Amino acid sequence: MSSATLPQQIDSQLARLLAGGSGGTTGGTLLLTADDGVTVDAHLAAVETLGVALSHLSLDVPSLAGASQATLEQWGRDLCARITYLLEGLGPLEFDPQSDELLIRSVPPTRDAGATSYFEVMLSAAGAGAFTLARYRTEPGVSRTQEDVPLTREVLKRLVRDAVETIP
């Protein structure tokens, strides 16, 4: 699967978001198109000159609709081996055969001052096929909350490219 145009699409859309804001710290959504009908949706809480705050990243992957457990597990292994540059490493945790989903989380998560933060990636063969990535924080006695992830533009481009290029 080719992802050659994705970095240019990201640069163009980030420039548009920056131009529409007041010099940065404006949020927005990147809607990107890769080959084979794959669409990328990156929700950004903030866009600045050097980086972004990523709220969540999702891919619609029509070629994975109805994919086997083995296919999702292979994609999960490939993602975990390739995406090694986030705050924590990633590792597949479990496959749910009833929902056709593979759960991947930070291994190990970050623990500080009684709180735990971790990335969660869900790969799904249900519906149109999907990838989602978000970061969460939990504290004792409190429901988990979603956290924004500060990324440089280059890391955002690499993350999108790696997610798309590892699709089986």
| Model confidence pLDDT, tens digit, residues 72-97 | 999 999 999 999 999 999 998 799 88
Give the span between the Cα atoms of 100 and 118, in whole angstroms: 22
Q: Is the peptide bond before 97 cis (omega within 30 degrees of 0)?
A: no
Render 42-110 in DSSP notation, one character per residue. Answer: EEEEEE-SSEEEEEEEEEE-GGGTT--HHHHHHHHHHHHHH---SSS-EEEEEEETTTTEEEEEESSPE
Are 86 and 119 in contact, with CB atoms under 8 Å apart? Answer: yes
The percentage of residues in the chain with a pLDDT greater than 70, rounded to a whole number, is: 95
143 residue type, one letter: S
Which residue shows structure tokens 């990243």? 57
105, pLDDT greater than 70: yes
What's the predicted TM-score (pTM) here?
0.91
